[in-house]
Structure 1
């Protein structure tokens, strides 16, 4: 079962054991057995750290341009430093196809961290890009001791240097203090105007719900965040103020450009969350349960498969004559078939300034009037500038002036650009016997990352008043329950002539 799925849960293994053998082993026993099974299939947990440097050399020989940044810490022995061994500390890695792919993706990156579930602890940090067809793509990874300012600074500085050097990109993340400190450090290169930060609205809403209970309160905040115009934002914000003024005070502690869509200057491309859970489940499922070298290897194999599948899909659609990705085509078709009636008035043919009066199909009710600027890619409805493709009002203006609406679509949505995301594929790894030799110190596990130590598991039960023993009360024998002696020299044990069972 572990060979088929390394992410299989301990409870599932318990149930399978009970069904096959008629007894249910403890959670601890099954957990330890699973780690032994993983070690037999994917390699020894401890030896995996020592194999990591040589695998890095092998993959760099396979694909020149692969970036690996390994940080170690010295091993102290008897007051000195052991030169032959070092502790594993942190590792950053990415591959050339990922670096090239980001140049053709949307100018934003989502970052988040997820815990490792194997025998030893740690955290896997990821950076995720999104192509024009709304597919998510992991572009960089890091193994660190945990989420703190130093580990995030290590990850983000290498991400900026090796993968995302372009100016003006947006970082979407949660509100973790370690991320905040790393992004605000001048040396990491993430300060405006070189880069901008936005909060994942899912995490903002989760923090909001800790203070203000109820689904309705959370829904109001999310609706305000997703609003594409200032008028729509204040509509929901005023409802929040009517319900509870404290909700508005809570939201006002955050800068509007970090959590609202109408103030983000179009940098989000409509993406309000990090999408990290979908990425981990679809691309990296099971990798967090593996030894460290197998984990890093699996990212190479999983991404290689992903680039093949998505590259074939993009090539087929491009060969069929599709100019734009399917996600955009569906939206544009819906806008073209819109049943509303639009009355377009041209004000400036040089600047392409229009007004669009919107009514019901019968013309009985007016649904509003909108100003459209094709030159500036703006509309009062907010969709044009937020999503970077024409809204229904802009399409009506294009039809009025006999203009091609396709020229106002951002290039990231074109199938040629989506194809370029997956154009550079991965190469088959060089056989292990041909890897370059490694002559550095042996890398060993840092004891601080030990998750499961030998011996009886430490109790996590919260002790109550009934669990507290009386002070200065002598210990009692385990057999006769009398004080003054132990089980080893109990007279009942001596009289029976037996030993421990």
Structure 2
């Protein structure tokens, strides 16, 4: 039993006490572990002693860092054997010892995810995040949206760094192993490696690259430094009508010439709904990929094999739960997903006040009038052209979201036909069931794993972190600070932003250390 007399308590004893706690929650804070020891034994070892004990507990629970690389090829081989259709792509560097290799990159995608993606929207989001274990590296993730607007993890990779070459390699792995869709939309931030790689990929395919609007607005704010203009950038990017987009865009031009110049340098089709052409299905950000990064955060300071296993079991849980949910909704008589139903019902409520004029039955061409709306910034009282044959409406909501807008619904009611026939197939519950119908199969226990015909892997020693506590979270940026809701820290002297007491311009110039204001 631990007592207060154990000032020189061995780290191995502390590790034994913390082993089960760390296994259940690898991301638990050191302070919480200290408190746990104190609550149980009224003894609190030093921060660094507990930190070192936690690292040893992680190794015991999730295998040794170096050994995990040697187990990884066996694990992935067993996984692909158990789950047909799964894909694993390696890149290694030959070692000086025969039969050995240095790990550089690995890409993996599970068979059920690849099969289920055929029933999702033809849109993917890509993002990268760093690993903070014993060895440095980056985790690359691509995900998409299912018909209920939920995250659908698609493929993963661990690479040495985010570069032009690593992003190009990752995108080519997706193209060759995950999807053969020619018309695919890729949403990302504007990381130089992504921009360079996607430019080459788009030249080889008919893929469409779109920017994450949240990153565009954040970069705009960092450049211009105006929160109100940042909000206007978000509004203009989210507008589906060209007319409404132009109103907000012109206002930005009037208020700030530098902001106007900044936006003019961005291809308008890459950050606005109004000019998108319907490729992004209304998806404006990479939030889903980033949210999955948060899900994996607890494993990003673990061994490489533990990280791969977590992605596997997360996908297993998603498929099991969502398949059951979709089947239940079908048995209750639902035809479309809850996400599409909510949008459809919201727009349907507007139709009673719409007027419909037939211009051509043969061409399925109609004019729909909307009433004056004093509560809207745009006041209403407009005319919209609906073409059922070409699946277009001049408001562009139909083209953007692939769900009939209120004008289309009004025309369908006038024609006495169901507007749901014009909802994109990806929102049908049948497609949602088909999306999650592929089954994940259990991987046998490691005692049954076969030796793969693969070199013995070793980690790249150049990526090994220096001694000391590694950073367990990334530095916050402007988006994390939530500047539109949370104030920036203020200087203690002048109570203004963007500097602190030490660098305050009002501080006495003549070497004063009293902190008095001049």
- Which TM-score tier does this pair reach, normalised by the shorter chain? 0.7 to 0.9
SS at match of 2:300: helix
Provide the residue aligned with 1:55 in structure 2: 75
Q: How far apart, CA to CA, are the structure 2 residues paired with 1:366 and 1:204?
A: 30
Measured after TM superposition, the shift of residue 228 of structure 1 is 0.7
Aligned to 1:383: 397
**Deviating 4+ runs (over 6 angstroms):** 454-457
Query: CA, structure 1 residues 151+193, in 2 after alignment: closer, same or farther (shift >3 Å)?
Result: closer
The C-alpha deviation readout for 1:264-312, integer Å capped at 9, x for no partner, is 1101111100122222334x35222221112112211221111000110
- Structure-1 residue corresponding to 2:447: 433
Where does residue 486 of structure 2 map in the other structure? none
Contact 1:412–1:418 (8 Å) recurs in 2: yes
Task: List alignment gaps of at least 5 residues for structure 1.
Answer: 76-80, 458-501
1:304 match: secondary structure = helix
Partner residue in 1 for 2:230: 218
Give the superposition deviation at 1:367: 2.3
**Quick one: distance in 2 between partners of 1:37 and 1:434?**
25
8 Å Cα contact 1:61/1:435 also seen in 2: no
**Cα distance in 2 between the residues matched to 1:348 and 1:253:** 42
Residue from 331, 338, 342 that aligns with 2:343:
331
The superposition leaves residues 146-200 of structure 1 with CA deviations (integer Å, 9 ceiling, x where unpaired) of 1111111111110110112111110000001101111122xxx433752110000
Show the 5 A alignment for 1:41-440. Answer: 41-75=61-95, 81-185=96-200, 189-191=201-203, 194-275=206-287, 276-282=289-295, 284-338=296-350, 341-360=353-372, 367-440=381-454
Once structures 1 and 2 are overlaid, which stretch shifts more, 351-360 or 105-114? 351-360
**Could you tell me how far apart the structure 1 residues matched to 2:235 and 2:203 are?**
28
Change (3 A) 1:51 1:220: same
Equivalent residue runs for 1:469-480 within 5 Å: none
Question: Corresponding residue for 2:503?
Answer: none
Does the 8 Å contact 2:373/2:381 carry over to 1?
Answer: no
Q: What SS class does the counterpart of residue 64 from structure 1 fall into?
A: coil
Alignment partners' CA distance in 2, 1:437 and 1:194: 41
Per-residue displacement from partner, 1:128-148 (whole Å, max 9, x unpaired)?
A: 011111011111000011111
Change (3 A) 1:230 1:405: same
Check the 8 A contact 1:63/1:96 in 2, yes or no.
Answer: yes
Find the residue that maps to 1:204 and give its secondary structure. Answer: helix
User: SS at 1:191's partner residue?
Assistant: helix
State the shift of 1:414 in Å: 0.3
Structure 2, unaligned runs of 5 or more:
1-20, 472-518
| 2-structure distance, mates of 1:259, 1:192 | 22
Once the two structures are superposed, residues 456-501 of structure 1 have per-residue CA deviations (whole angstroms, 9 ceiling, x without a partner) of 99xxxxxxxxxxxxxxxxxxxxxxxxxxxxxxxxxxxxxxxxxxxx
Normalising to structure 1: TM-score of the pair?
0.84
1:14, CA displacement in angstroms? Answer: 4.9
Paired with 1:455 and 1:251, the residues of 2 have a C-alpha distance of 41
- Structure 1 distance, partners of 2:470, 2:259, is 48
Shift of 1:254: 1.1
Q: Distance in 2 between matches of 1:58 and 1:366?
A: 61
Cα distance, 1:178–1:29 mapped onto 2, change above 3 Å: farther
Instruction: Say which SS state the counterpart of residue 332 (structure 1) adopts.
Output: helix
Q: Could you tell me whether the CA contact under 8 Å between 2:278 and 2:401 is conserved in 1? A: yes
TM-score (norm 2): 0.81
- Evaluate the alpha carbon distance shift between residue 11 and residue 383 of structure 1 in structure 2; reply closer, same or farther with a 3 A threshold: farther
Mapped partners of 1:285, 1:415: distance in 2? 32
Q: Deviation of residue 422 (structure 1)?
A: 0.2
**Which residue matches 1:494?**
none
The alpha-carbon deviation at position 209 of structure 1 amounts to 1.2
Structure 1 residue matching 2:105: 3-state secondary structure: strand
Task: Check if 1:2 corresponds to 2:22.
Answer: yes
| Distance in structure 1 (CA, Å) of the matches to 2:373 and 2:252 | 34
Structure 1 residues 356 and 456: alpha-carbon distance in aligned structure 2, compared to 1, 3 A threshold = closer
Q: Secondary structure at the match of 1:133?
A: coil
Deviation at 1:4, TM superposition (A): 2.0
Residue 118 of structure 1: how far off its partner (Å): 2.1
Q: CA RMSD in A?
A: 2.2
2:12 paired residue number: none
* Corresponding residue SS for 1:371: strand
1:95-151 CA-to-partner distances (Å, cap 9, x unmatched) read 110111111000010000011132222111000011111011111000011111111
Give yes or no for contact 1:340–1:358 (8 Å, CA) kept in 2.
no
Judge conservation of contact 1:340–1:360 (CA < 8 Å) in 2.
no
Deviation at 1:335, TM superposition (A): 2.2
Shift of 1:9: 3.2
- Contact kept? 1:90, 1:145, Cα under 8 Å: yes
Compute the displacement of 1:10 (Å): 3.8
**Paired position in structure 2 for 1:463:** none
Distance in 2 of aligned mates of 1:353 and 1:456: 64
